[in-house]
Structure formats: structure tokens, C-alpha cells
Structure 1
Amino acid sequence: ARAYRETAGIAHDAVQMAVVVQRMVDAAVAGVLFTADPLTGSRSACVVDAAPGPGTGVVDGTAAADHYVLDGTGPEERGCLAPAELEELRETGERLQRELGAPQDVEWAYDRSGTLWLLQSRPITTLFPAPPATERPGTRLYVEFGHVQGMLQPVTPAGMSALKELLAGMLASFGLGVEIVDIGGRLYGDLTDAMRDPSTRRRLVKFLAVDFGPRAQAVVEHLLDDPRFAPVAGRRRGGAAALAMGPRAAAGILRALARPAAARARVFDAIERRRRRPVEDPSTARELLAAIETTERRDDEIGDVTWPVVTGLLVTAALPPLLKGVADEDEIRTVLGGMPHNVTIEMDLALWEVARRAEPHRELLLGTSPDELAAAHLAGELPDFGLADFLEAYGHRCAAEVDIGVPRWSEDPAPVFAMLGGYLLVTDPEQAPDRRFERAAAGAEAMLAELARRARRMRSVRGLLAGFFLRRARELAGLREAGKFAGLYALLDRRRRLLLLGAELRAEGLLERAEDVAFLTLPELRAVVDRGRDPRATVAERRSEYAREMRRRTVPVALLSDGTDAETLLPAHGSDGRTLIGMGA
């Protein structure tokens, strides 16, 4: 009980005990009804577990219960419940769900006269939220964007609106028409139209390998054989040309392939221009909101960053088929190790250099909590060991950095101090990040030379392409982080203005804290600014919902429109008792 209260944020001294006195049902058969399948998440099926007598044995798991999954195909003639009783339970569950506004976990009993008694009904708390209702026909597939980035936490409402805008623009530049939806505070893309389009469905699996990861790839590959996603001949909807790239894209990719050094220079020049771009913030709430609402597009810079990054991803994806019979997966992975020109690796190495300079202050940094160190740094009370320069270069970053509702390292450097503490514990020189990177880079160059020799011996076009793509992979694949890195400067500007707006609204008594502004959408903020609408009840509700979702430990990588976790549809893996199955990290 204490652990439950602490998890839910309930004070121990604020609870009271209730004692219920009630008439008992003389049950002939009893059990539990879930109005959605708690294992798959499907809202198209309800699940009944039943056993003769009182329902306590079913609830606590001690009785052998009959198990029914009711999906509208008609219950089987078996077990302790008749088909008419199962149908009555299904209809009753639907009514309860409608009245109470959420899928329900119901305890019930039939007495010896055949009367159905409802003993308890409560929400199914473990379900992941279902996709929003849509008028588009048939079952739809939604794939989640955050898991491949390791982003488990939900996105704030302000962050969600900015991300939808950012992703829509990015996907449009690839020729992808994907609808972005908010499900449980996470970003999901509707891939249904691309799944049903004969010209793109098979290429979709390879595309997912680049940007969504192996779990999403396995789901889509499995569902390609599902009749609900069968190709529709002669129809091309908004996402039908999802993977087609136009002349502009082809020109950008060929340009990067021909002159990779010049392509890298364009990428980093564009990043530097964004970093140095002068910004003036308006002074009034109305002007600040107008500035936040305005989306600035600079197509020249988008192309300068996008196509070199895409080229690096494409040449990397091309290596396995080109090197089939020449190199195994481990050898290809070796070529992709110690990758140069990666802004995140360079950031990690810069932090390692800070840690080396901080060695004289080791006792202070390891003996003080990161939160206390962050407060001391912001107050100017720490010695200079290079952290200020690091934050000048990378302070616009943080975990879950694509969400403008999350503090940047420049605002709260506690996570940086936690990482510094980890680096200070590295005492073996051979395990130092710079040495590990140097070894990986040297191994990659040696393996590249070896694989290029093997490819040349093929004396074929494929061999020539393999050697060319191996070299281009080393020169361009490290840029994969550059696109997001460049986009973070625009998000930083937006966050700064959002917080300034929050401070204005707090001064007017419309918000408790300036940070509360992250829990309102732009239309809601417009209503606050223009009409003085009090948003505090909405903010409190959203904060509570956000805190609840922060505790969620499993986020489905793909959902069907009825809420089914698509991974539950995959065939079960066999186990040899020695193999761990999952996504390596």
C-alpha cells in the first residue's frame, strides 16, 4: 500500500480506510470481464474468465478458469457459461464502457436464478491509449517515432505541436505523405496508405530499417501478408507515393555522392548559420505568441542538411545487399564503427575532455549530487574546468530534446554533471572514450580496405559499387545526427519564447509557473492571450496525465486502429534457453 501511494503521489497521512458492508450474491458462476483485450490492447475484443462458485478464485488466480475471447465471431459452446450468457456479458460490458468512458475491468456473478450481478467496474489501467477515431476506412497501422531514439517518455502538448510540424516538413522533403497523430503523448505515423500501395509496400520494409529500427520493420513485414493491408490496385492516396523521390532529391543525393567533403562542409556551414542567426524576442504576450505561431522555412538550408544526411543513410542501407557473399554482418558493422563527422560522438568526446580537465576536482564532483552541482554552476560558484565552453557548444541539447517542453542542459546541467561523474570513474586508460573511438576508427579503416579488395576481385559492377559505397559510408554516414542537431536551434528559439510568454501569463495571474505554458497547445494559448481564458484547470489535468504516462514502462512500437499492439500479432520466438531476445542497446 505504501509503495502504491508513493508511485501515485498520494500522501500517506491523507488516506482513510473504508469498510464496506453489503449483501453477498449466492453465485452459481462468477468471474472477470475485460471490455478490451488486456494482453493485445485490442478494443475489438472483450475477454471473459469464469469459474463455478464465487469469483474469488478467478480474481486471485487460484481457480482453473474458463477463458473466452469474444471478438464478434460467436462464442464457442463450451465451459461453464452458455452462449447467451457470454453475449449478455459482452453487451453489458459495452454499455459500461460507454457510460464510464473507458475500457473496463468488471467483476460479475450469475446467481442460481440466472440473474447477472455486477460487483465492481473500474478502468483497465494497463492499457496503452488507443489511436484517435478516424473516418478513413478499414484497419489502420500507426508506427511510433520515439522508440528507436530511446525516447520512452511522453511529449508535452507544446512539444507535440512543434514536433508534428517538424516531422511533417521533414517527411514531405522525402516525398512521404504520412499523417502524424498523438497517441498517449507519443508521436505515431499512419503508414496504412503506403502499406496498401502496390508500388511502395515492399520498399517500405527497407525504409523502416533506416529510420524506425528492427521492431517496426518486423511488424510491417508481418502485416504485408495480412488481408487487411492487401494492396489496392489502381488507387493512390496521399501516402501512395510515400517513398518516391523527385528530381530535387536525386540531384542532392548525386551531388553528395560525387563530392562528399563539399557536402559535409555545406552541412556544417548550415548548422553554424543557424547557431549564429540573430534573434530578437518581442516584449508583449500577444507578439510572443505570434512569433511562436510563425513557422520559418529556409529551403536552401534544409536541402544543404537533408540530402547529405539522406545519402549517408542510403549508402549504409545499400551495403548488406552489395556485399552479400563478400562480407558478413559483423564485418559490415566494423566498417561503420568509429564513424567520423558525427556531432553526437564529437559531443561525447568533448565531454570526456572536460572530465580530464576536471580531474583535480574529482572529490568535489563525485561527492556532491548532480542537482547541487548544477545549482552551484548556475550561481557561478564552481571552478572553471571547461564546462562553460561545453555548454556554450552543446547546451541546447538534453534527453528527449525534440520536446520543447523539456529543459535544455543550459537551463539545468544536472544530467551533464551525472555524465561527468560516470567519466571520472573510468580509470583504465584503454577504456577511455577517445581510445575506444580511435581503435574503432582504425579497425573500420582496415576492414574497409579488406572488403574493398574482396569486392574488386568480383570483377563486376556490383564489386565496383561495393567499394565505392564502402568509402562513401565512412565519409557520409556519420552525418546522420546532423539533421536533428541543426533543427534543435529552431526548437531552442521556440522554447525560449514559450517560456517568456509563460512568464508574462504568470505575471498576469493566469499561470502558477512559467513552465506550465508547455502544457497548453497553441490554440489554447491564443484563447488565453486574446480572451483571458483561465487555463489552470487544464494545466493541472495535463500535468497529472503527463506524470501518469511518465511512469509507463512499455510503449508499443506499432498500433492498429482498434488499439491492438501489433507486436502481439507476430509469431512467438522459440527459445534455446541461452539466447536473450530483444533490441540491443
Structure 2
Amino acid sequence: MAAPAFTVELHRLGAEDLPRVGGKAANLGELIRVAFPVPPGFAVTTAAYEQVATDAGLDRVLGTEPARLGEQARAALLATPVPAAVADAVRTAYLGLAQTSAGDDVAVAVRSSATAEDLPWASFAGQQDTYLNVVGADAVLDAVRRCWASLWTDRAVSYRATNGIDHAAVQLAIVVQRMVDAQVAGVLFTADPVTGKRTRTVIDASPGLGEAVVSGAVNPDHVVVEDSGGLGITIVEHRLGDKAVEVRPLPGGGTKQVTRIGGESQASLTEAQIAALVSLGRRVEAHYGSPQDIEWAIDAAGTVWLTQARPITTLHPLPSPGGDGLRVYLCASLAQGLTRPLTPMGLSAFRVVTASAARIGFGLALADALAGPPAFRVAGGRAFADVTPVLRSSIGRALVPRLLDIMESRSAVVLRSLFDDPRLAVRPSSRWRFARRVLAVAVRFRVPVTVVLSLLRPAAARRRVNRVGDRLRALTTVKPAVTPAQRLDQAVRVLGEVFQILPSVFPVAATGLGVLAVTQKVAAGALDDATSHEVLRSLPYNTTTEMDLELWALGTRLRSDPAAAAALRGTPAADLAARYREGALPAELQRGLAAFLGRHGHRAVAEIDVGVPRWAEDPSYVLGVLANYLRLDDPASAPDVVFARGAQAAETAVVAVVARVRRRSRLRAVLVRAGLRRVRQLVGMRETHKDYLIRLLAHVREQIGAVGTDLAARGLLHDPADVFFLELAEVRSALGGADHRELVTDRRAEFDRELRRRRVPRVLLSDGTEPEALAVPASADVTGVLVGTPASAGTVTAPARVVLDPVGAYLEPGEILVVPSTDPGWTPLFLTAGGLVMEMGGPNSHGAVVAREYGIPAVVGVPDATVRISTGQEVTVDGAAGLVRPAPE
């Protein structure tokens, strides 16, 4: 077996060489291959690093506690001599590079190139060290050694941990590349890294070496160029920086910073140079097929050199094109309170659901329901809706933002900000045609009858909704001995029925909300928003709050059972879940949990995703919540007591409003009293349609899961759960014998990467622009107050608890829960929370509704709340004003 090569020239490398030379070197070699102007050089391969890591005993260091891992790994590598064979290879390669220059010693840049670097999903920019203007073989070897050690800087160790990359799996190569005698240098992005716009090039430039720009040591010139396609380019911004610092090479090696004066009076780049850089960037982008982050330099002869190119990993992927011209995509996942990606099966399921909605609601005839309607788009594992026709319609502009005001208020703000864009001007449309469709749906589902029944006999309306539930239970009955293909057909059939729940059930709660709006007008100022929130506290007939209170009641019973309480306090939730499946929990806990799951086991966190396990499959979250409940010792703060207090407060609010109105008009007072009684009898039903929907999705999951078991038994999947990383059409082909195991592996890796994405755009344009990024956030004021949408009145000051995933979350009683978003699966945590802050949502999103009913102050739609607030930081939540005041840390 041939000895491993410790060095290789860059021009011999390509993308396929990433495992042995890392991302940076592989990218540079790829660019040289296709004739981009890249300075010559060589790579010190991962084989060299493996050799020195072995000599340093790095495998033993990997077992060190995380806090000291980086420090000990660096010390071990720096204390280990460079192996002789490696040193000889580096010296030989360096001398070969020197022979192409004027002298024996050539100035080079020595830069790290990790195997988990410059990748499409993780750039690792700045995580390892770079050494510039290194002269002489001994100096190069010393820089190589320090680059190896920089793989274990604290920032690099933290970055890998955050991105879920195994430390042991990462290897380090080194790029040794001839220095460019840069007169001016900088960075270039082939898409605007702030707004995401793909037709813009952004350039930062400054005299001297690019290190000044990359490191942030200088205020550079900032150039923004719009690419108008065949019409050429337009410089839309050219802001001159002071360029007060210039990094220059020193004779014999090293660099120095030189102070400059008057830099703001002279541009670093000419228009011709800007055009050349834009052209270079577009060519690099075209080669890789994605926006690029490029480092460049221009030498004394005016030659433009490309010194590095890597993907811009912070941009959200674009949905596939849905038509000509500018398109507007609304993130439907966020509108449903879901920041995480959906599994491929979850997305496939919603294609069928939305196809049914398009057929019933809009009369669209779709050739293939599995493909979904034309407006359904996917990007980054999230569902998007092409709402371009909505914005070009006067009816759409009137209705959809108002609906979002209730569900996800900031999305409504963003959509309204696009109304003045001439590219989205309103086009003539038939209002009568729209009215006919609405009327047809209303008649088909007997909506007028439901509304009248709700107004006159609320109890009868609720019984009508219960009968819909009975029909759905009949729909999910499966005959014994069905084949996997029949189970798949059953799943698709049930998904086709999901949309019908909304017009059949929601009109009851919608009538209540309509009555509230009318009553506010009749009350003529005596019923403001804050008082309305009070009236809506502790509503009866809400399936979500009933579920939460039922879980609290179970926790109360378990508190008095010594064996159950000891198990909950002393055993991890995952272990308790395993014991539950074995029937080995303490008797009272086993029975109580089984009874709860029998009624609510179809629920889950992120439950609209068919690919997510239900509580009945994995009750770890429920068990964790029960353990949290045992920590609440104040009887006055018990959720059932708080709920009862909220009901009394609502009744008091009703009486007070009626009294205020009576002073002006007895007739109005009678109407207001009747209206608010109807509101409390009807609005609690607004969670019922979601409960029914989740029951159907749980049934679909059960059927598809059984198909996955069959496919795994036949060797077509590695694991039964892999079926949820296929789409419905792919499951059908798998039943026919297709092997999708490699596809599942790729999708699981992509899903895991998307789980780590923290920022998801509410609205995305087809050119990549995120309109929300164009506006200055309302919360970005000097006082540090975060501004959102009022959701539940009241003021509370308490420590914050930032929770990104509720499974296993630890919440002390009274803490303010700070979350990206919530769905009903989160709400058991609300019972012991002192307040709620959400990044997503509107005043009638799930989190807002439940917060009001439990009487905890809540503000929703607060941008970047989980980033700007830290766990343990004292926070004041003013739910009536929509303000969140974090105390200084």
C-alpha cells in the first residue's frame, strides 16, 4: 500500500478531493480547473494532520469534558513535533512554489482548510486561523502547526457543537498559497447577505491586504450593485468608508497595520474594477449554482485575483419558481406556528390537504392531488404559499392580511408593506366570481344553518360539532387484515377529507368572534381590547385547555402517590417512557398516563407534521411536564385555581362592561350582556377543529407507519420510521419494490441541518429578498424595549426561560416562557409559566388564546426574542401594551 501523500498542488484538486484537502482547498482547486484567476499553491493534506494527531494522542483528549476540550487539544498539538516525513513534504512543496517566483523565498498565505468547512450548509468562516505573508520554509512549517492547533480554538469547538458536527470526524488540511501584492482587496457577496436579494452584488473594499476587511479592522468602502440581466449593472450604493487602517506585508514576513488619513475622500475601486468584480462573482456563482461569499485582491498590474470562494450559508433556500415575474411566497409553516422544518411526509400530506382545499374552495381541477396545488411550494423543509395572486387582488388584499392579523400578525405587516410595489399592482378581478365560490362552500357545508344555530342555541351547535367528530371517528375505522397498499390508500383518502373539518366546525367559534366584534361596536368604547382579553379568560369548551387541566389533575393525584412522585422526580423522562411501554411504571402513574394518552395521545409538539411521533408513541414530553408540575408548591398558583379565578374575573369584566353601557342606554346594555354571554359560550370551540384535524393526521401517521414496518421487513428501508422521510408517491413506488434507502439518508441529513436554522423568513420574494429585513424592527430602539403584539393583558416581572424545544424543557414555576412559537402541544408548560413571549403569532394564535385563558401576560410577534433575551435574565412583560423589557445583563 502506497504511503499517503502529505502535499498536493492546488491545480490538481477538485470538489471530489474534499475528504483529503478540506473545503477551502477543494474549492480553490475546482476554480483553478475551470480557469478562474487563483494564485498558485499547494495543500497539506488531512493525512499529515492525522499523523500529527496520532503522535499527539488526540484520541485520548477527545474524552475530555467539553469546557476544556479545546484547550487540551491545542496544547497537545503544539507540543508535538511536525513528523519528519510531513516536514520534508512541506519543504519540498514550498521550494517548488518558490521556483515559480523571482527568488528562493516566496511570500505565502497559510490558511486552514477543514473537511467541515466551506460547505453548502456550514461555511465555518473565521473558525480556524490564517497567517499572511509567511516567508521561508521554517516559517511555513510553524504556521502549519499553528493552523492545526486552531482546529481546536474554543470558537471552532463551539461552532461544531452548534452545527451537530462530530469533533472526531473533522480533519484539517492546510492551504499554502502565493501572496498577491494587493493594492486593494476585500470581500464580495453575489447576493445581498442582509436582504437575501439574489440580483444584487455587495462589495466591501479597502487598500492593502483583504485581512483588514475580513477581520473588521477597517471601515471599508461599501458598494451595492444591481444586476439588471441583459440590461447591464447599476451601482445603487457606493458609500466611502474612512479606511483608517491598511494592512501591509513586511519585508521578510509578517504584516503591519498602517494608519491612513483622508480615506473617505477617495474610492478604492473604479467603476471598471467594480464591473470586473461583479462579472467574476456571477461566473463563480454560475459554476457552483448557488450564491457565493468571495475574497478577492487586485494587484499593482490591475489583475483581479480570486483568493477564496464559499457558499453563503445564511440565505434561506428559494421555493421553486411558480410563474413569470416577481412572486411572493408566504411561509405557511410559520403562519401555523411552526419554525422547525416539516418531514418530507409531513409536506407531502399537506400537498394533499391543500389540493382538497383548492378543489373545494376555489374550484381548481388538479390532475394529481399528491402534487398539491400550484400555489404550494417548499423551501428549506418549510411550506410556502405563492400569494402573488392575493396581492394582485383587491379582495385578497382586504381579506388575507386581516386573517393573518389574527394568526401571525407580523406576516400581515410584511405583506401590507408590499402593497405599494408597482410590480404587484392590483389587477381587475370579478368580485361576483369570488362571492359565488364563498356562497357555494357555505351552502355545501350548511354554514348559515350553523351560524343561526350558534346564535340561538349554542348547546345544539356544540352537539352538531360533536357529531362531526363522530363521523371522523367512523372515517378512521380500518378493517382488519388490510394490505400495506390499502393502508396507503386509506391515508390518502383521509387526507383528502381533512379540509372539510374547517367549514364544518369552525363557524361555531367564528360566530362567537363575530358577535364579539359586533358587541364592541354596540358597547361604543366601553369594551376595549384589554377588557375583551379579560372577557375571553378561562373560556369553557376549549379542548386544549381542558387537556392541560386534565394533565394537571393527573399531576395532583400523582403528587400524593409516593412511588409515582419519586419516579417522576428521580428518573429521566425518556427512561420513564421506556418503562411505560413495558408496563413497568408505578401503578398509579401507569394507569393515569394510559388514561390520559387514551384521550389525548394523538397530540404532539409540531403536531401538524405527520412525521412527528405522537404522545401515545413517545410520552417523554408528557412525563417531563408532570415532573415540572410537582415543583409547584403554592396552592394559590395551582392551574385549576388560576383557571377558576380567571372565569370569575371574566364574569366580573362582563358585569362591569354592562354597567358602563347601561349608564348610556338600557337597550344597548341588554344587547351587550347577551352578546358577551354568547361569546363565552361559543369562542372556546375554536380549538375543536384543530383537535379533529390532529386526530385525522394521527390516523394517517398510524397507517403510513404500518407501511414503513412492512417496507423495513422487506429490506427496502433501514428503519420503519424512515417512511416519514419519503413522500406519498415514493412510498407507493417503494411498495412496488423501489429502494429509497439512500434518498432517506440524504433527507435525514438535510432535515437535521434545517433543524438548526434559527431564522426563517415570514415572506420571501422570488428574487431572494426578505421584505422584513428591509424595515427597521420596531424593537430596535435605544431603550432596549422589544415591541410585539398584545396578546394577554397584565404585567409580570420574572426571570426568563428561553425554550426552543419543549421536550425535556425545565421550567420553574413563575418563569417567563420565551419561545419561537407554540402549538397546542406546548401548552401544558403554560400552566406554571408566569408570562409568555413569542417570536411568532397573532392575538388569536394558539399561544395567545391559551395565555389569555390562563390569565398570564403575553406578547407575541416579538422579532428575535429568543436571541435578544437570555435564560435567567429578568424580564418585564406588559401584555396590554405589547412591550417586553429585558433588564440589562
TM-score w.r.t. structure 2 length?
0.61
Match of residue 260 from structure 1 = 458
How many angstroms apart in 2 are the aligned matches of 1:53 and 1:299? 62
> Residue type of the partner of 1:263?
A
Match of residue 567 from structure 2 = 364
> Does the C-alpha gap of structure 1 residues 376 and 526 become closer, same or farther in structure 2, counting only changes over 3 Å?
same
User: For structure 1, which segment, 185-194 or 483-492, has the greater mean C-alpha deviation from structure 2 after superposition?
Assistant: 185-194
Q: Can you give the 5+ residue segments of structure 1 that lack an aligned partner in the other structure?
A: none
Q: CA deviation at 1:462?
A: 8.0
Alignment of structure 1 residues 440-519 onto 2, 5 Å = 440-455=646-661, 459=665, 467-519=673-725
User: Quick check: 1:310 aligned with 2:310?
Assistant: no
Q: Is the 8 A contact 2:764 2:771 kept in 1?
A: yes
User: For structure 1, which segment, 198-207 or 392-401, has the greater mean C-alpha deviation from structure 2 after superposition?
Assistant: 198-207
Write out per-residue CA displacement over residues 143-164 of structure 1, whole angstroms, 9 at most, x where no aligned residue: 2233354421110011111123
Q: CA deviation at 1:380?
A: 0.4
Rg bigger for which structure? 2
Match of residue 335 from structure 1 = 535
How many angstroms apart in 2 are the aligned matches of 1:153 and 1:25? 44
How many angstroms apart in 1 are the aligned matches of 2:675 and 2:415? 27
User: Quick check: 1:156 aligned with 2:313?
Assistant: no
Q: CA deviation at 1:3?
A: 2.4
How many angstroms apart in 1 are the aligned matches of 2:688 and 2:345? 24
Q: CA deviation at 1:2?
A: 2.2
> Does the C-alpha gap of structure 1 residues 159 and 238 become closer, same or farther in structure 2, counting only changes over 3 Å?
farther
User: Quick check: 1:549 aligned with 2:549?
Assistant: no
Alignment of structure 1 residues 414-425 onto 2, 5 Å = 414-425=620-631
> Residue type of the partner of 1:118?
L
SS in 1 for 2:645: helix
How many angstroms apart in 1 are the aligned matches of 2:722 and 2:531? 50
Q: Is the 8 A contact 2:501 2:692 kept in 1?
A: no
How many angstroms apart in 2 are the aligned matches of 1:246 and 1:459? 39
Match of residue 540 from structure 1 = 745
> Residue type of the partner of 2:395?
S
> Residue type of the partner of 1:116?
V
Q: Is the 8 A contact 1:96 1:104 kept in 2?
A: yes
How many angstroms apart in 1 are the aligned matches of 2:222 and 2:695? 54
Q: CA deviation at 1:339?
A: 1.4
Alignment of structure 1 residues 244-393 onto 2, 5 Å = 247-248=442-443, 249-275=447-473, 277-280=476-479, 283-295=482-494, 296-297=496-497, 303-316=503-516, 323=523, 325-359=525-559, 360=561, 361-383=564-586, 384-385=588-589, 386-393=592-599
Match of residue 144 from structure 2 = none
Q: Alignment partner for residue 71 of structure 1, among 205, 226, 242?
A: 226
Alignment of structure 1 residues 121-160 onto 2, 5 Å = 121-135=309-323, 137-160=324-347
> Residue type of the partner of 1:420?
L
Match of residue 216 from structure 1 = 411
SS in 2 for 1:297: helix
Q: CA deviation at 1:302?
A: 5.8
> Does the C-alpha gap of structure 1 residues 302 and 567 become closer, same or farther in structure 2, counting only changes over 3 Å?
closer
User: For structure 1, which segment, 508-517 or 86-95, has the greater mean C-alpha deviation from structure 2 after superposition?
Assistant: 86-95
> Residue type of the partner of 2:551?
L
Q: CA deviation at 1:484?
A: 1.3
User: For structure 1, which segment, 406-415 or 469-478, has the greater mean C-alpha deviation from structure 2 after superposition?
Assistant: 469-478
Q: Which structure ranks higher in relative contact order (CA pairs < 8 Å, sequence separation ≥ 6)?
A: 1
User: For structure 1, which segment, 327-336 or 407-416, has the greater mean C-alpha deviation from structure 2 after superposition?
Assistant: 327-336
SS in 2 for 1:193: helix
Write out per-residue CA displacement over residues 323-345 of structure 1, whole angstroms, 9 at most, x where no aligned residue: 55223321111111111111010
Match of residue 184 from structure 1 = 380
Q: CA deviation at 1:566?
A: 2.1
Q: CA deviation at 1:221?
A: 2.5
Alignment of structure 1 residues 515-530 onto 2, 5 Å = 515-530=721-736
Write out per-residue CA displacement over residues 93-143 of structure 1, whole angstroms, 9 at most, x where no aligned residue: 2222222121111111111111111111111111111122122x3322222
Write out per-residue CA displacement over residues 185-235 of structure 1, whole angstroms, 9 at most, x where no aligned residue: 11222222222212342333322222x322112112222233333222347
> Residue type of the partner of 1:255?
L
How many angstroms apart in 2 are the aligned matches of 1:374 and 1:334? 38
Write out per-residue CA displacement over residues 458-479 of structure 1, whole angstroms, 9 at most, x where no aligned residue: 5499877655543332111111
SS in 1 for 2:290: coil
How many angstroms apart in 2 are the aligned matches of 1:245 and 1:55? 65
Q: Is the 8 A contact 1:105 1:124 kept in 2?
A: yes
Q: Percent identity?
A: 40
User: For structure 1, which segment, 196-205 or 536-545, has the greater mean C-alpha deviation from structure 2 after superposition?
Assistant: 196-205
> Residue type of the partner of 2:222?
H
How many angstroms apart in 1 are the aligned matches of 2:549 and 2:363? 35
Q: Is the 8 A contact 1:142 1:558 kept in 2?
A: yes
Q: Alignment partner for residue 288 of structure 2, among 89, 100, 115?
A: 100
How many angstroms apart in 1 are the aligned matches of 2:667 and 2:383? 41
Q: Alignment partner for residue 428 of structure 2, among 230, 233, 236?
A: 233
Q: Can you give the 5+ residue segments of structure 2 that lack an aligned partner in the other structure?
A: 1-155, 228-232, 241-266, 365-372, 789-838, 840-858, 861-889
Q: Is the 8 A contact 1:184 1:549 kept in 2?
A: yes
Write out per-residue CA displacement over residues 16-63 of structure 1, whole angstroms, 9 at most, x where no aligned residue: 221222211111111111111111122232211111111111111111
> Does the C-alpha gap of structure 1 residues 554 and 112 become closer, same or farther in structure 2, counting only changes over 3 Å?
same
Alignment of structure 1 residues 20-99 onto 2, 5 Å = 20-72=175-227, 74-75=234-235, 79-99=267-287
User: For structure 1, which segment, 332-341 or 446-455, has the greater mean C-alpha deviation from structure 2 after superposition?
Assistant: 446-455
Match of residue 564 from structure 1 = 769
SS in 2 for 1:187: strand
> Does the C-alpha gap of structure 1 residues 382 and 556 become closer, same or farther in structure 2, counting only changes over 3 Å?
same
Match of residue 815 from structure 2 = none
How many angstroms apart in 1 are the aligned matches of 2:184 and 2:433? 52
Match of residue 640 from structure 2 = 434
How many angstroms apart in 2 are the aligned matches of 1:465 and 1:45? 58
How many angstroms apart in 2 are the aligned matches of 1:59 and 1:314? 57
How many angstroms apart in 1 are the aligned matches of 2:609 and 2:738? 25
Q: Is the 8 A contact 1:309 1:483 kept in 2?
A: no
Aligned residue-pair number = 582
SS in 1 for 2:234: coil
Structure with the largest fraction of strand:
2
> Residue type of the partner of 2:294?
V
SS in 1 for 2:178: coil
> Does the C-alpha gap of structure 1 residues 167 and 293 become closer, same or farther in structure 2, counting only changes over 3 Å?
closer
Q: CA deviation at 1:304?
A: 3.6
User: Quick check: 1:193 aligned with 2:389?
Assistant: yes
> Does the C-alpha gap of structure 1 residues 569 and 100 become closer, same or farther in structure 2, counting only changes over 3 Å?
same
Match of residue 16 from structure 1 = 171
